[in-house]
Amino acid sequence: MYAPGEAATRIKEKARELGFLACGIAKADFLTEDAPRLEQWLRDGKNAQMGYMANHFDMRLDPRKLMPGAKSVISLAYNYFTAPKQLDPEAPKLSTYAYGRDYHKVVKQRMKPLMDFIKENCGDVDMRAFTDSAPVLEKAWAQKAGIGWRGKHTNVIRQGNGSFFFLCEIILDLELAPDAPATDHCGTCRRCIDACPTDAITPYGVDGSKCISYFTIELKDAIPTGAGDFKNWAFGCDICQQVCPWNRFSKPHNEPDFDPKPELMQLTSDEWHGMTEILFEELFQGSPVKRTKCEGLKRNLRYLRDEVHHRGTEGTEEI
């Protein structure tokens, strides 16, 4: 058995060897600073129709309630930054994280060898792995474990890497030496706040009821008329990440499962707006986009077209 410091070092080395962008460790404690923040966010209704965010409140704040006996939280980052872009500049846009195969499955597969390594080298360890799949405040643990800080757009930013990465965690009953929390390096920058076309971002907060990603992914009803200018985003939105100065350090991922299908990147605007069930299944098999289903994506596309038409007639007078 390794001492907590040696075990932590070996786990981080193995994580890097397995292709993770970063690995940090925090003590499995109650998230004191996040409790009032989450409570206020829910009270203000900023979770909109994301009712699940109000579930398991205590579990979100204390990993020991999610896994009794937990002593440490291993936080991991997995790069998804993709260099290729959609070829048609007029085509409706897809968030970069959705270019390839569903990250839930991919990242969880990459975590298994690390968990096997821990069991082989640290004895009989009880642990659970999570990838955006349970009531875990991933961003809070990433900051606490030194992975990066929560930027003003609330995404986690890492110096030298930017923010285009997925977060995942291993909660375990093994005592490991914790890392120092990440410090904030946003300074006076407010590019993400100023660039958001629906005014969803306030410093260190996002109003889900105004966010383009919420409207195009989470919302199950019709998108309200006048929800705002979505800037041609049909699924998700990367604006706040695209304008962040730290993302000039982003480097392309090395994960084949995140490579986009060439036919997806070549899709023209007309082909997007003529989306059929057959084309949807061909392009998005195994993709996060399947979450909206074909009808949900077509709803988003209709909103984009109607919004463009509305803006084009704004200010005209009836003759």
Catalytic residues: 132
48 with 209: CB under 8 angstroms? yes
Residue listed under structure tokens 């069930």: 277
Helix (H/G/I), strand (E/B), else coil: 24: strand
* Distance of alpha carbon 258 from alpha carbon 262, whole angstroms: 12
Phi, psi of 93, rounded to the nearest 5 degrees? -100, 150
Cβ-count burial of 250 within 10 angstroms (0-12 exposed, 13-18 middle, 19+ buried)? buried
Is residue 166 within a helix (H) or strand (E), and if so which, with residue range?
A: strand 165-172
Distance from the Cα of residue 244 to its chain's centroid: 15
Contact 214, 201 (CB under 8 A): no
- C-alpha separations of 34 from 88, 114, 190, 223 in Å: 42, 28, 22, 31
Report how far Cα 253 is from the mean position of its chain's Cα atoms: 15
103-140 burial by CB neighbour count: b if 16+ within 10 A, else e?
A: beebbbebbeebbebbeeebeebebbbbbeebbbbbbb
What is the spatial distance between Cα 161 and Cα 99, in angstroms, rounded to a whole number? 19
Classify 175 in phi/psi space as left (phi over 0), alpha (psi -120 to 50) or beta: beta
Structure tokens belonging to residue 231: 């800037």
